[in-house]
Structure 1
Amino acid sequence: MTRTTRIIYTLLFLSISCLSTYASAMYWPWPLNGKVVNQSRLPVAVWDGEHGIYTLPAHSFSPKVLDIDHLYSSQNNRWCKIGLLKVQIDSKGNINQCECWVDNAGDACNSSPVVTEIKSSQAPKVAQAAQPASIPASSN
């Protein structure tokens, strides 16, 4: 292997390593990001790796700039892993189109932590989920 080839392979390896590390902490841009449409009369708790846990107001949807990863259900006290889906909460608070259910925000569908540094402890109580949104959401 020539010196130039080794340098190219080394640079390629370093680039891929940096990108894979960065990709685990970055969000997917629209239209590949997770989107939540809240048609209920109550705010819902959501989680993403960039902002942690916050609430999405009633009768609103998440803006295109946010990549929501998990949505909390007060009905079963679990988190819905969203992925590349648009998930809707109907007027009764039911979550439709859920990829899978996990116990904690930040968990992957196989229940292992996605990012251990960001993983939340317990799911928020209903009183926390009812607080005003900390990130403005677009309205219908």
Structure 2
Amino acid sequence: MTRTTRILYTLLFLTISCLSTYASAIYWPWPLNGKVVNQSSLPVAVWDGEHGIYTLPAHSFSPKALDVDHLYSSQNNNWCKIGPLKVQIDSKGNIDQCECWVENAGDACDSSTVVAEVKSSTAPKVAHAQPASIPVSQS
């Protein structure tokens, strides 16, 4: 293998490595993004890596332009990791189709510690949620 070929392979490897690292942290466009359908009469807290924590109003759904990553459950004081799924909140506030439960917004699922039982706690974990509405996309 010539020196030029080795340099090209090395550059290609570094480029792919950098892109794969970047790709894991970028927004997934519809239909691969996480979507929330809130059928309850209360707003719900959601989190995505681009906007942080914000609320999704009652009887609404997240727009296609947003990639919601986590959904807060006031019933068990944990966050539902959404992934590339559509997650529904029924009229009673129950969350359907949760990939896994995590303690904090932004946490990844860990197959060795998937929560089997719902924790009961009275302290809400979203007390510092600032934006009170869905972020507006800037065009």
TM-score by length of 2: 0.81
Q: Percent identity?
A: 80
Q: Work out the CA distance in 2 between the residues paired with 1:28 and 1:89.
A: 22
Instruction: Show structure 1 runs of 4+ deviating over 6 A.
Output: none
Unaligned runs of 5+ in 1: 112-121
Q: Which letter maps to 1:65? A: A
| Aligned residue-pair number | 126
Deviation, 1:20, is 2.0
**Match of residue 125, structure 2, among 123, 133, 136:** 123
Q: Which letter maps to 1:3? A: R
Partner of 2:114: none
Partner of 1:25: 25
Matched residue SS, 1:55: strand
Partner of 2:49: 49
Equivalent residues in 2 for 1:52-63, closer than 5 Å: 52-63=52-63
Partner of 1:115: none
C-alpha RMSD of the superposition: 2.4
Judge conservation of contact 1:25–1:50 (CA < 8 Å) in 2: no
Deviation, 1:14, is 1.8
Matched residue SS, 1:13: helix
Deviation, 1:7, is 2.4
Matched residue SS, 1:15: helix
Partner of 2:88: 88
Deviation, 1:24, is 2.7
Q: Work out the CA distance in 2 between the residues paired with 1:93 and 1:104.
A: 19
Q: Which letter maps to 1:123? A: K
Q: Work out the CA distance in 2 between the residues paired with 1:128 and 1:42.
A: 16
Partner of 2:120: none
Partner of 2:107: 107
